[in-house]
């Protein structure tokens, strides 16, 4: 597995570089923003946001390994993960209202503090302390995915009065660098944990300086802004009405809940499946992130004017690929006949599918869900998503380790069959809906060349 992991990482990194180089050459004729005030504002945002992302990604490769290092059983580790998912549900529901009330800048500083405390709890061997840390991690993640983007959008439109059409360019670049940071974080985590021999707690300690710098730069360079006061009950009620009144929204929610809950279970299972064969976990994680980046690049190519595939088709392909990967895993994790290389390949295919899935799902959500109902509908989407993931963890907790892992992949395969049926139903509903299609090549050319 050691050689396999390094070879896979090298190959995927080469593919990433090739795809991005081709994309850069294709964009040479496209005008870019040269407004110095906007570029400075964008840099102030990236400086804080990228540090936060780096701190978050550093904690990914060795989380399960750390709990295992403290000699907890898989069932006990599953309960810690369930606490994290439950925390994500709770804080995900209130995070937007909390951020609007507290202030976006203060929320970003709060993120740096709570996530730092979360990292410090990893030094403890006490089970209760680790559970509390996981709950704080749920709060921190909710703040990461709500406060930073909300701060940027408000400053962009309200304070600086830049054109709203420039916002997607900022987030598109942020998404690209998010992938790069994730790949680099895996290598850095591996360096400290394995190459220097500091153990699985080391990446969490390395995260703390990044988190501190996040809070310091936000405090120093950002102005405070607040959102409109919105009653959580009204937001949720309006979201539920939108969900129940539009079949497209309901089907999208079903697909998201099934697909992403399977991904959460995969995040839990990949370490115990591969770790007995002593792979470099940080490099394995970087390989996963590189595979996801390849998927994102393939999505951009597939929806370009040359191929002009539709997000609905790509969503279908990503769900089908995950089903195929899970089907492979039910055989490669069969007790007594384990095949770690085949499991690793299946995991890479899952990450590649994620790279295709998230931009396709994001495009369809923006088109189907009215902007005023986005927050409420997403709150309802998160509930079944996290409940399914928690249920999967609890089922695994009550199972024998050897057969439980294989059974879990079998259950996930069934869930992906259900997701495929939902995709087919959605395709039937929207196949003649021009609104849910990428603009024609002529229109796309006009939209991709604004005079910034």
Could you report how far apart the first and last alpha carbons of the chain are, in Å? 49
Say what the pLDDT of residue 10 is: 94
Say what the pLDDT of residue 401 is: 53
The overall longest dimension of the chain from CA atoms, in Å, is 63
Say what the pLDDT of residue 358 is: 92
Say what the pLDDT of residue 118 is: 96
CA distance 104 to 24: 34
Which tokens sit at 50?
């990228």
* Cα torsion angle, 237, 238, 239, 244, sign: positive
Q: What is the mean pLDDT of each run of 10 residues along the chain (452 residues)?
A: 89 89 58 75 93 95 94 88 84 80 92 96 95 93 90 89 86 90 96 94 96 95 83 71 82 90 90 91 95 92 81 92 94 86 95 94 86 74 78 67 77 92 87 65 44 37
CA distance 186 to 282: 4
H helices of 32-103, in order, are: 36-58, 63-69, 74-102
| Full DSSP string of 113-139 | HHHHHHHHHTT---HHHHHHHHHHHHH
Predicted TM-score (pTM) of the model is 0.89
CB 52 within 8 A of CB 151: no
Say what the pLDDT of residue 438 is: 65
């Amino acid at each position: 597995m050691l050689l396999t992991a390094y070879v896979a990482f090298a190959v995927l990194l080469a593919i990433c570089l090739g795809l991005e180089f081709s994309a850069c050459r294709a964009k040479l004729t496209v005008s870019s923003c040269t407004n110095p005030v906007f570029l400075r504002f964008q840099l102030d945002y990236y400086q804080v946001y990228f540090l936060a992302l780096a701190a978050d990604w550093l904690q990914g490769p060795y989380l399960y390994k750390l709990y295992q290092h403290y000699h907890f059983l898989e069932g006990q580790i599953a309960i810690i993960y369930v606490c994290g998912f439950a925390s994500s549900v709770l804080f995900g529901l209130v995070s937007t209202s909390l951020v609007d009330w507290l202030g976006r800048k203060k929320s970003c500083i709060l993120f740096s503090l709570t996530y730092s405390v979360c990292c410090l709890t990893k030094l403890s061997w006490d089970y209760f302390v680790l559970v509390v840390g996981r709950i704080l991690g749920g709060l921190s993640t909710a703040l990461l995915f709500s406060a930073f983007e909300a701060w940027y959008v408000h400053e962009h439109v309200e304070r600086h009065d830049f054109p709203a059409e420039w916002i997607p360019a900022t987030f598109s670049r942020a998404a690209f660098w998010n992938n790069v940071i994730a790949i680099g974080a895996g290598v850095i985590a591996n360096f400290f944990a394995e190459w220097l021999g500091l153990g699985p707690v080391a990446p969490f300690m390395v995260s703390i300086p990044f988190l501190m710098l996040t809070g310091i730069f936000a405090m120093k360079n950002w102005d405070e802004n607040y959102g409109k006061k919105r009653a959580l009950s009204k937001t949720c009620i309006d979201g539920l009405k939108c969900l129940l009144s539009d079949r497209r929204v309901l089907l999208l929610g079903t697909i998201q809940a099934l697909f992403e809950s399977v991904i959460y279970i995969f995040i839990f299972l990949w370490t115990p499946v591969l770790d007995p064969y002593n792979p470099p976990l940080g490099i394995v994680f970087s390989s996963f992130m590189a595979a996801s980046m390849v998927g994102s690049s393939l999505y951009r190519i597939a929806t370009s004017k040359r191929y002009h595939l539709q997000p609905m088709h790509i969503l279908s392909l990503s769900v089908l690929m995950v089903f195929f990967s899970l089907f492979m895993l039910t055989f490669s994790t069969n007790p007594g006949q384990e095949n770690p290389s085949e499991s690793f390949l299946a995991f890479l295919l899952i990450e590649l599918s994620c790279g295709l899935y998230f931009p396709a799902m994001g495009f369809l959500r923006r088109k189907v869900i009215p902007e005023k109902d986005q927050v409420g509908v997403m709150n309802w989407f998160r509930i079944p998503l996290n409940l399914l993931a928690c249920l999967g963890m609890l089922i695994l907790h009550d199972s024998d380790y050897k057969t439980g892992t294989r059974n879990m992949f079998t259950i996930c395969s069934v869930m992906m069959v259900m997701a495929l049926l939902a995709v087919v139903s959605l395709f039937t509903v929207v196949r003649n809906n021009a609104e849910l299609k990428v603009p024609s090549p002529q229109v796309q050319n006009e939209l991709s060349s604004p005079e910034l």
